[in-house]
Amino acid sequence: MTELATLETKHAQLLKDAIQAIHARTFYTPYPEHPKAYAEDADSKGRDAFALRMNEPYTELQVESEKWIGEEVSPYLQTGIGVMYPQLSVEQLISNADGAKSWKDIPAGERAGILIESLERVANRYFEIAYATMHTTGQSFMMAFQASGPHANDRALEAIAMGYEELTRFPNEVDWVKPMGKFDLTLHKNWKAVPKGIGLVIGCSTFPTWNTVPGMYASLMTGNPVIVKPHPKSILPIAIVISELRNVLRENKLNPDIIQLAVDTVSEPVTKQLADNAAITLIDYTGGNAFGDYIESLHKTTFTEKAGVNSIILDSVKDLNAVAQNIAFAASLYSGQMCTAPQNVFVPADGIDAEDGHKTFDEIADAITNAINGIADHPKMGAGTLGGIQNDQTVKRIKDGGNFGGSLMAEGHTVSNAEFEHARVMSLTVVKTGWENKEAYGHECFGPMVFVVKTKDRNHSVEIAADLAATKGAITCSAYCTDAGMQNTIEDKMNSVFTPVSFNFGGAAFVNQHAAFSDFHVTGGNPAGNASFTNPEYINKRFVWVGNRYMA
């Protein structure tokens, strides 16, 4: 048995379980999300490993280069972390990827074994990756651990499992016999899943692994070599993942350039050069609309996740305070720097009904604002929930925005972090406004920003939310409604613009959260993105079925 076949056998049950989970859509994960599920000393070892990385060249990729660059800055320390990465030219990256196209000749099962083995290696470094994510994105430790570790591995495994299933959907070969009367016509036929070429994965600054690994592993599983181009401010977390994959490839006598890391700086970007290169045939992109629209305009196969305007529709509730707390946490988590975070809360002008009586628009706006401020001002909860602001432009946009043309209910202010004196933490800005002020709330205001919007009535709230999803895009929609008929109306209207709805979330359920193997992340049907984690199309567009026929 070859080493590759051994890995296929080693991970066969895990692959089988993952495929079953895709069909069942129930809760499944082989990677526990709580840090306490891991070794007692794993946290301290991970923290030490990250500390040793700082101010050192990142040599683990085992790439020779004359130029080393890096400009990541910790939102908690407000200093550069000093890690330098080897930079290769676009031409060298493409040449290396061309030389690794024999990856397509590895059978699907063996490919899956290699890729799952890399995830198992990554699982041993969750804590190191968590600290790397904290100090490049500003996520709190718990979010960084979960999102860049177990949850990212879940999404990667999901892509591998879906890929394996699609690649093995049809037989590799068959003898085809057609009765012709006195004789039979016999043809020997085979079918090959031919990969489209070199994949480029363009990462974002806020979720450097979670948003990167689905496309990365989907392209690799379908036989395409991949170049990952992370955001220059968030490289280290995905560099660790890529290092582990390259290590597994080397150990199995395969070309490590099947997967490569491309680095650049903010002032001298190379993303467009890579995307424009004729050798790049697949592009996965997470980021802003302008460049995302450009990526989609290229005559290539693209998978994009861009900006959207996520809405909350308040129609009727059981307990307004409980709803306000849930909304506040969802909006405050990581300071709203999540593509799934809610931005606009639509409330009818005459208010809504609750079990303890009717609530006016102003009472609702006050309840949401108080809940948001309560989180920010809580000495143990505030800084940990809000995390740090990753980008200078996010702070500038909020501060320069003034009151956004409405009534300023809460003004973003600095929140102290007991552990990190210089951490850049801000409370949320909350604006109460009318539906006519669409210039303010009618586009994504990325970061710690919430609008409470007065609408004409319940149907008007749904109409505005649906219109924004159709024209600007939306990844999530949350609705609070105790009327079954109205629930159906909201669901039908939002689904018609390809937006999923989360109804009456409370307790530990928040609209931000999407579960691998169960929830599709982005539908691909509105301007927020043209692809979905992880449906069959996300896999099938990365290769082409080609059949051959032989006269028997």
- Structure tokens given for 10: 């080693």
Q: Note whether 126 and 149 are within 8 A (CB).
A: yes
Q: What is the pLDDT of residue 420?
A: 93
Q: Residue 282: what pLDDT? A: 98
Sequence-separated (6 or more) residues with CB below 8 Å from residue 294: 272, 275
**How many whole angstroms separate alpha carbon 230 and alpha carbon 290?**
17
Question: Quick check: 22 and 165 in contact, CB under 8 A?
Answer: yes
Q: Where are the domains of the chain?
A: 3-306+534-551, 311-503
Closest CA to 106 of 242, 7, 11, 12: 7
Alpha helices, DSSP H, located in 181-267: 213-221, 236-251
Write down the pLDDT at residue 1: 57
Check residue 274 and give its pLDDT: 98
Q: Describe the crossing of helices 3-10 and 12-24 by its angle, rounded to 10 degrees.
A: 40
Residues 6 or more apart in contact with residue 102 via CB below 8 angstroms:
255
Query: What pLDDT does residue 401 have?
Result: 59
- Measured CA to CA in angstroms, residue 74 lies from 44, 138, 143, 215 at distances of 19, 7, 16, 26
Tens digit of pLDDT per residue, the chain (552 long)? 577 779 999 999 999 999 999 999 999 999 999 999 999 999 999 999 999 999 999 999 999 999 999 999 999 999 999 999 999 999 999 999 999 999 999 999 999 999 999 999 999 999 999 999 999 999 999 999 999 999 999 999 999 999 999 999 999 999 999 999 999 999 999 999 999 999 999 999 999 999 999 999 999 999 999 999 999 999 999 999 999 999 999 999 999 999 999 999 999 999 999 999 999 999 999 999 999 999 999 999 999 999 899 999 999 999 999 999 999 999 999 999 999 999 999 999 999 999 999 999 999 999 999 999 999 999 989 999 999 998 888 887 777 655 688 899 998 889 999 999 999 999 999 999 999 999 999 999 999 999 999 999 999 999 999 999 999 999 999 999 999 999 999 999 999 999 999 999 999 999 999 999 999 999 999 999 999 999 999 999 999 999 999 998
Classify domain 311-503 at the CATH topology level: Aldehyde Dehydrogenase; Chain A, domain 2 (3.40.309)
Burial 472-499 (b: 16+ CB within 10 A, else e): bbbbbbbbbbbeeebbebbbebbeebbb
Q: What residue has token string 């048995």?
A: 1
> Would you state the structure tokens that stand for residue 29, as one six-digit string?
């994960």
Determine if residue 334 is left, alpha or beta; phi over 0 gives left, psi from -120 to 50 gives alpha, anything else beta: left
Ranges assigned E (strand) in 372-435: 407-410, 429-434
Please tell me whether the peptide bond between 281 and the residue prior to it is cis, using omega within 30 degrees of 0: no
**Coil/strand/helix, residue 13:** helix
Residues facing residue 2 across a β-bridge: none
β-pairing verdict for 344-348 and 449-455? parallel
* Residue bearing tokens 């490839």: 249
Report how far residue 41's alpha carbon sits from residue 463's, in angstroms, rounded to the nearest whole number: 53
Q: Give the list of residues 6+ apart from residue 380 with CB closer than 8 angstroms, or none.
A: none
Q: In the structure encoding, which two tokens stand for residue 327, read together?
A: 């909304």
Reference 352, options 323, 328, 379; nearest CA is: 323
pLDDT of residue 3: 73
> CA angle, corner 303, sides to 520 and 151, nearest 5?
45
What does the chain come to in residues? 552
State how far the Cα of 352 lies from the Cα of 338, in Å rounded to an integer: 28
Question: Checking DSSP bridges between strand 184-195 and strand 543-551, what pairing results, if any?
Answer: antiparallel
pLDDT number for residue 402: 59
List the beta bridge partners of residue 431: 408, 451
Q: Give whole-number Cα distances, 319 to 188, 294, 316, 371, 481, in Å.
A: 67, 45, 9, 13, 11
Token match 């009456």: residue? 504
* Separation between Cα atoms, residue 307 and residue 290, nearest integer Å: 10
Residue 525 DSSP code: S
Q: Which two tokens stand for residue 470?
A: 């159709």
pLDDT at residue 524, as a whole number: 96
pLDDT at 5: 75
Q: Is CATH 3.40.640.10 the right assignment for the domain spanning 3-306+534-551?
A: no
What is the Cβ-side half-sphere exposure of residue 521, based on CA atoms within 13 angstroms?
A: 27
| Structure-token match 């919430």, residue found | 450
Instruction: Quote the pLDDT of residue 410.
Output: 92
* Cα 324 to Cα 327: distance, rounded to the nearest angstrom: 5
> Rounded distance, CA 136 to CA 75, Å?
7
